């Protein structure tokens, strides 16, 4: 008979034990280490211990916004669906998928841009102080950078980790070149699971901070 772990809590505990042992030698600040661990747990890719980039003060800026119950904007329905609702409710935040905004398709057709770009422009005109999770479309991230440069966007944190061989690396470089607080990945790697894992780590850090203050 095969022997294997079947208890969910035991599996998760052992997974994090393995991750922490493998990255024990990495010189990471505690909050960044928590995020790296969650991303590796979601992807089983230990290269993220090197490939995640944190703008100075970005994590702290995002946590401060989450403590205030800020809005979280995703670039896809998949990312919205992937967010743990219990965690979301526990921190008092709300999530919105940019693709679901009215007028997105009309704007995309009228201005000859991708729906991802149009979605970001539609949302940016209606929300302020939201955290953005971009894990799929590089053009969505390019749009956020352009909106920031136009003075039409402010955000406490942009998680910019789109995946792809066309534009993804360039979009992340463009984001890092701005003063926007950001968490990104190097190269073409990333994706919705990475964006969601980063957000879940931020949720856990937010809750831990609340417990420590009690």
Q: What is the DSSP letter of 135?
A: -
Among the listed residues 41, 128, 204, 211, the single catalytic one is 41
Q: 104-111 vs 115-124: helix axis angle to the nearest 10?
A: 120
Q: Report yes or no: 39 and 201 within 8 Å, Cβ to Cβ.
A: yes
Catalytic residue flag (residue 204): no
Q: Report yes or no: 75 and 134 within 8 Å, Cβ to Cβ.
A: yes
Q: Identify which of 66, 32, 69 has the alpha carbon closest to the alpha carbon of residue 49.
A: 32
Give one DSSP letter per residue of 31-69, joined into a string: HHHHHHHHHHHHH--TTHHHHEEE-TTHHHHHHHHHHTT
Start-to-end CA distance of the chain, whole Å, equals: 48
Sign of the Cα torsion 70, 189, 49, 144 reads negative
Give catalytic residue positions: 41
């Amino acid at each position: 008979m095969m022997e294997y772990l079947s208890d969910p809590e035991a599996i998760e505990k052992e997974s994090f034990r393995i991750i922490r042992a493998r990255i024990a030698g990495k010189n990471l600040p505690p909050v960044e280490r928590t995020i790296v661990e969650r991303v590796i747990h979601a992807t089983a890719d230990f290269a993220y211990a090197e490939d995640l980039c944190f703008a100075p003060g970005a994590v702290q800026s995002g946590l401060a916004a989450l403590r205030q119950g800020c809005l979280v904007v995703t670039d896809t329905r998949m990312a919205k669906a992937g967010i743990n609702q219990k965690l979301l409710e526990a921190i008092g935040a709300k999530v919105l998928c940019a693709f679901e905004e009215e007028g997105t398709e009309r704007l995309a057709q009228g201005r000859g841009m991708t729906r991802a770009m149009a979605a970001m422009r539609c949302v940016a005109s209606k929300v302020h102080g939201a955290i953005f999770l971009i894990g799929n479309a590089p053009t969505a991230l390019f749009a956020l950078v352009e909106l920031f440069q136009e003075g039409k966007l402010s955000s406490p944190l942009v998680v910019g980790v789109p995946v792809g061989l066309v534009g993804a690396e360039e979009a992340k470089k463009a984001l890092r070149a701005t003063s926007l607080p950001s968490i990104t990945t190097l190269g073409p790697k990333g994706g919705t699971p990475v964006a969601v894992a980063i957000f879940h780590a931020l949720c856990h850090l937010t809750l831990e901070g609340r417990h420590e203050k009690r």
